[in-house]
Structures are given as structure tokens and as C-alpha cells.
């Protein structure tokens, strides 16, 4: 792998919180990726909602397949920009580890429950998972990941929480950028979910071609595919369109990022951190992206079938939160190792880690 001078390098990593002897088989970022894959939070992503709850059907994305798709898109972009593929892979696989059951609805519900107790932010929760909640090692809590992976996981953070995070929180206070690898995963996350949500929306029957063709970008690709191939089945048409859309968007991001690299001319990771954001969509592509987001909000995320799930998620998580406030002794002791944490934070850690199924079954067993 030939790395650009502005790429992150494992040899120059800012290191881990607890010093560990280096491995002679794997670099720092590969080791981090492996730790993430072997964590129990990673396995649980399989049973957490992306948009459709797990039991709605086996063909929809879960948080796990979403994370794998983000890793694939990230690696492609990293390779084009000569950035570090292992680092983007590790960040991508870990980026949603802190996600609650029931997707964004679950996160909003838990944030509501935690309003008086410091709130709930899913990016910060992903960091809590890798820093504290995973219990795999004898010498420390968490996975003891490198600074660069932790920096990439913490995509957003409120200023209040950033102040408590030391060096890792500084960029939110100083408004500086993370590594290019972190910027790549951030945009790959958007590219992946925008497309796979359209795909899942179509498979679910909520979206159809007539509706999707109201998106100019989609219609353009639809016409191309029909002109080139004539009769194809719906699944082939859809896959061909989505593939072409993603391809064009990824190319756009690479071109635009190269332009920014030429403009800012970063020669080190520190230059990248100090310059404006580099990994971006072009202006014209950004307007397509905004249209897709708006389209999905109106036609998919706010569709009654999805919003029913959203309402149920709110009821379930709020019920669990209240129940554990009264029955705190039912929270496993492994969550209660840090005496400085409030009872509510421990409850929120426990609920956030649940799969959809576990949360639903637990809530059903609670007598009203």
C-alpha cells in the first residue's frame, strides 16, 4: 500500500490509553479492527434495526450489514485517495457500536429518558463501548483502541461532553478536522445508508419506481438502464440503478477530495487536522444528496409503517428505563463497575446495548 504523506500511519499513531507491546504480525489499526470484530457489541449489531426492525424480514439491512457496507465504501475511497485502508475499516466497523435498539427512534427515546441525566448521544456511546463497556481484557476495561480509531468513532459530540474528553474532545471546541480516514468514513456512512435505505424501501413495497423517479438522479439512471437493457426484472433494474448511483457519487467524492487536497496541500496528518474539511461531495452532487435525504424523510422514514415502529420503540424504551430505575438490582453487575457513574447512566448503557428482540421480549414480560 503506497500511502500519501497526508494519510494516517500506524507507526505514527498517537497510541493507546494503556501502553501495550506492539504486535509483529499486525499493525495498530489492523489489531484495532480485529478487536472490534471480536467484541460482543459488534455481534449484537446483527439484531439491531437500521430502518426496518429485525423481525420484519430477513432481507433488510441490520446495523451489522450497514457497518460492513460502510467499511466497503470507505475502503474504496481510502484506496483512491491513498489513505490508510485498515484505519477506515476499523472506524467503519465500530462507528455504530453504541447504537440503541430500534434505530434512530430508540436513540431519541433514550435521549428523552436521559434528558435530566446528561442526555444520550450515540457517537459518544460508541466511544463508551470501546473505551469502557466491552470487558474482554484482564488489564483494562474496553478495547484500548488507538487514538485515531477513537477519534474517527466520535463523529459528533456536544460541546458540554467534548470538554470532558481531553485531547479527543478538543477538535469540537477548536472546530478543527479529524484525519482524512475519519472524514472518509463519515461520508461513506451517508453514501451507504442513503442507497441501502432506498433499496430496502423498495423491497418493503413502500417505495416503487414511480415514486423513486421523482428523484432526478434516480430517473436519470433508470432511463439509462432501460435504454441499455430493455427488459429486466425489477430487482435487476433497481440493483443496476443503485450501483450506478453509488459509483457516480463515490467518484464525485474522490474527485472533489483530490481538488481540496491540491488546494490545501496537506503534507502531514496535522496539516489535515488544521485545514478545512477535505472529503466532500461537489456542490452539484450535494444538491442530489439533499434531494435523496428529503425524499427518504418524506416517503420512507415518515411512512406509517416505519413511524408505527418508531412509536413502539419510544414506548418500549421508556418503559424499560422506568422499570430499571425501580428495579436497579436487575442490571447485571458487569455494568456497575465504575462507582463514579450515575444509576441512570448505567441503565442507559444496559438498554443501549440491547438488541431489538431482547428489548421487546423484556418489555413484554414486564407486567403493566
**Rounded CA separation 318/108 (Å):** 10
Q: Considering only residues 316-355, where is the footprint of Mg ion by CB under 5 A?
A: none
- Residue number of the CB closest to Mg ion reads 189
CB of 105 to Mg ion, least distance (A): 15
Q: For residues 189 and 252, which CB has a smaller minimum distance to Mg ion in the complex?
A: 189
CB of 194 to Mg ion, least distance (A): 11
Beta bridge partners of 58: none
Q: Which stretch binds Mg ion (CB under 5 A): 23-31, 102-110, 181-189, 342-350?
A: 181-189
CB of 78 to Mg ion, least distance (A): 17
Q: Which stretch binds Mg ion (CB under 5 A): 92-100, 105-113, 251-259, 285-293?
A: 92-100
Q: For residues 32 and 96, which CB has a smaller minimum distance to Mg ion in the complex?
A: 96
CB of 12 to Mg ion, least distance (A): 27
Binding pattern to Mg ion, positions 216-255, x when CB under 5 A? ----------------------------------------
Q: For residues 66 and 260, which CB has a smaller minimum distance to Mg ion in the complex?
A: 66
Residue 189 sits in the site that holds Mg ion (CB under 5 A): yes
CB of 250 to Mg ion, least distance (A): 17
CB of 95 to Mg ion, least distance (A): 6
Residue 69 sits in the site that holds Mg ion (CB under 5 A): no
CB of 269 to Mg ion, least distance (A): 24
- Tally of CA atoms within 13 A in the half-sphere of 189 that contains its CB: 22
Q: What is the 3-state secondary structure (H, E, C) of the chain?
A: CCCCCCCCCHHHCCCCCCCCCCCCCCCHHHHHHHHHHCCHHHHHHHHCECCCCHHHCCCCCEHHHHHHHHHHHHHHHHHHCCCCHHHHHHHHHHCCCCCCCCHHHHHHHHHHHCHHHCCCCHHHHHHHHHHHHCCCCCCCCCCCCCHHHHHHHCCCCCHHHHCCCHHHHHHHHHCCCCCHHHHHHHHHHHHHHHHHHHHHHHHHCCCCHHHHCCCHHHHHHHHHHHHHHCCCCHHHHHHHHHHHHHHHHHHHHHHHHHHHHHHHCCCCHHHHHHCCCCCCCCHHHHHHHHHHHHHHHHHHHCCHHHHHHHHHHHHHHHHHHHHHHHCHHHCCHHHCCCCCCCHHHHHHHHHHCCCHHHHHHHHHHCCC
Binding pattern to Mg ion, positions 18-57, x when CB under 5 A? ----------------------------------------
Q: For residues 179 and 186, which CB has a smaller minimum distance to Mg ion in the complex?
A: 186
**Rounded CA separation 154/162 (Å):** 10
CB of 190 to Mg ion, least distance (A): 8
Q: Considering only residues 94-133, where is the footprint of Mg ion by CB under 5 A?
A: 96
Residues touching Mg ion, count (CB under 5 A): 2
Q: For residues 35 and 196, which CB has a smaller minimum distance to Mg ion in the complex?
A: 196
Residue 197 sits in the site that holds Mg ion (CB under 5 A): no
Q: For residues 51 and 83, which CB has a smaller minimum distance to Mg ion in the complex?
A: 51
* Interface with Mg ion (CB under 5 A): 96, 189
Amino acid at each position: 500500500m503506497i500511502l500519501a504523506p497526508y494519510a494516517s500511519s500506524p507507526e505514527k499513531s498517537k497510541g493507546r490509553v494503556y501502553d501495550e507491546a506492539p504486535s509483529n504480525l499486525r499493525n495498530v489499526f489492523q489489531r484495532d479492527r480485529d478487536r472490534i470484530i471480536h467484541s460482543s457489541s459488534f455481534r449484537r449489531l446483527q439484531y439491531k434495526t437500521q430502518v426496518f426492525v429485525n423481525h420484519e424480514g430477513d432481507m433488510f439491512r441490520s446495523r451489522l450489514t450497514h457497518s460492513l457496507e460502510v467499511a466497503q465504501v470507505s475502503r474504496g475511497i481510502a484506496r483512491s485517495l491513498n489513505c490508510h485502508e485498515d484505519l477506515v475499516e476499523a472506524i467503519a466497523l465500530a462507528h455504530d457500536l453504541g447504537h440503541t435498539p430500534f434505530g434512530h427512534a430508540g436513540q431519541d427515546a433514550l435521549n428523552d429518558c436521559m434528558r435530566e441525566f446528561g442526555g444520550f448521544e450515540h457517537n459518544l456511546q460508541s466511544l463508551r463501548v470501546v473505551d469502557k463497556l466491552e470487558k474482554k481484557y484482564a488489564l483494562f476495561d474496553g478495547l484500548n483502541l488507538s487514538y485515531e480509531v477513537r477519534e474517527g468513532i466520535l463523529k459528533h459530540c456536544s460541546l458540554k461532553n467534548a470538554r470532558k474528553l481531553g485531547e479527543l474532545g478538543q477538535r469540537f471546541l477548536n472546530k478543527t478536522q479529524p484525519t482524512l480516514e475519519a472524514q472518509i468514513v463519515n461520508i461513506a456512512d451517508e453514501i451507504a445508508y442513503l442507497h441501502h435505505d432506498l433499496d430496502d424501501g423498495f423491497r418493503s413495497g413502500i417505495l416503487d419506481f414511480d415514486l423513486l423517479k421523482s428523484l432526478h438522479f434516480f430517473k436519470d439512471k433508470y432511463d439509462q438502464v432501460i435504454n441499455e437493457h430493455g427488459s429486466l426484472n425489477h430487482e435487476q433494474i433497481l440493483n443496476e440503478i443503485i450501483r450506478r448511483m453509488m459509483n457516480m457519487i463515490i467518484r464525485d467524492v474522490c474527485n472533489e477530495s483530490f481538488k481540496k487536497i491540491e488546494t490545501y496541500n496537506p503534507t502531514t496528518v496535522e496539516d489535515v487536522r488544521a485545514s478545512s474539511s477535505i472529503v466532500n461531495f461537489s456542490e452539484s452532487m450535494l444538491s442530489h444528496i439533499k434531494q435523496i435525504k428529503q425524499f427518504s424523510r418524506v416517503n420512507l422514514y415518515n411512512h406509517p409503517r416505519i413511524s408505527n415502529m418508531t412509536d413502539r420503540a419510544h414506548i418500549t424504551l421508556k418503559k424499560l428505563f422506568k422499570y430499571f430505575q425501580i428495579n436497579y438490582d436487575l442490571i447485571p453487575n458487569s455494568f456497575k463497575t465504575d462507582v463514579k457513574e450515575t444509576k441512570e447512566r448505567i441503565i442507559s448503557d444496559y438498554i443501549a446495548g440491547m438488541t431489538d428482540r431482547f428489548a421487546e421480549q423484556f418489555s413484554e414480560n414486564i407486567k403493566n
